[in-house]
């Protein structure tokens, strides 16, 4: 039976790497995108669906979930990949910057999980993967305080999802990678040097591994460091 995964922001960067890996593993992938044209990059007729998804439009979350379930008859996994980073600390950044990160990094995953949970429960082995960050595990000087706050919240949301779905076979994992070589951190002062960053394909492999595990081998969080840190 073909497994069905939803991937937010799955048309570029890390999301595209995750989508490509899941397709290679035999999944059918439903993409939640702002730009539906990004779906054309995947040459897998009948195995890629694209739906409008925008964190600023709350109604797009349940519409995407229900359209996917209606087309394929089931939902086996949700990968909350979409995220943004804006520099907000005690001396810089705006309220709008902070609100934008909360909307994309926290509220959008919450809405998707809430909409998808009934379908994930129905399979008896539903999966939720939230792409967090090492910033979900600690605060490091020079990193956006606002971004760190949202990733800590996403980790809490992962724990809540595990509690809510456990008895029905739903397993949730927060993947906490260090710097990934994507546009998200391009130009940010103090970012991990490019040569030392994780490749998107490496993180996609981690996602695929977590999704492959049985209910009896649940991983609540998985950290992939790019630099030695005493706190994580």
CB atoms within 10 A of CB 101: 26
Phi, psi dihedrals of residue 198, rounded to the nearest 5°: -70, 140
What distance lies between CA 25 and its chain's CA centroid?
Answer: 18
| Cβ–Cβ under 8 Å, residues 80 and 32 | no
Q: What residues are annotated to the active site?
A: 147
Q: How far is CA 80 from CA 20, 117, 122, 196, in A?
A: 15, 13, 20, 25
* Secondary structure element (H or E) that encloses residue 223, with its range: strand 221-224
Residue whose token pair is 């439009």: 57
Find the helix packing angle between 108-123 and 145-165, rounded to 10°.
20
Check if the beta carbon of residue 29 is closer than 8 Å to that of residue 22: yes
Separation in Å, CA 130 to CA 123, 154, 174, 219: 19, 7, 5, 12
């Amino acid at each position: 039976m073909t497994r069905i995964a939803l991937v937010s922001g799955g048309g570029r960067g890390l999301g595209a790497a995750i989508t490509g890996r899941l397709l290679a593993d035999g999944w059918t992938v439903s993409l939640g995108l702002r730009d539906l044209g990004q779906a054309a990059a995947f040459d897998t007729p009948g195995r890629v669906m694209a739906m409008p998804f925008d964190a600023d439009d709350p109604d797009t979350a349940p519409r995407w979930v229900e359209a996917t379930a209606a087309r394929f008859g089931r939902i086996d996994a949700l990968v909350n990949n979409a995220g943004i980073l804006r520099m907000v600390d005690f001396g810089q950044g705006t309220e709008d910057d902070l609100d934008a990160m909360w909307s994309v990094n926290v509220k959008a995953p919450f809405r998707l999980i809430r909409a998808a949970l009934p379908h994930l429960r129905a399979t008896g082995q539903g999966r939720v993967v939230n792409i967090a960050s090492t910033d979900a595990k600690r605060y490091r000087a020079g990193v956006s305080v606002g971004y760190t706050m949202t990733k800590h919240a996403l980790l809490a949301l992962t724990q809540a999802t595990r509690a809510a779905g456990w008895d029905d076979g739903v397993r949730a994992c927060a993947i906490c990678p260090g710097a990934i070589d994507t546009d998200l951190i391009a130009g940010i002062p103090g970012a991990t040097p490019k040569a030392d960053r994780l490749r998107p394909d490496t993180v996609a492999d981690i996602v695929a591994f977590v999704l492959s595990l049985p209910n009896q081998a649940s991983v609540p969080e998985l950290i992939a460091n790019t630099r030695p840190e005493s706190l994580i």
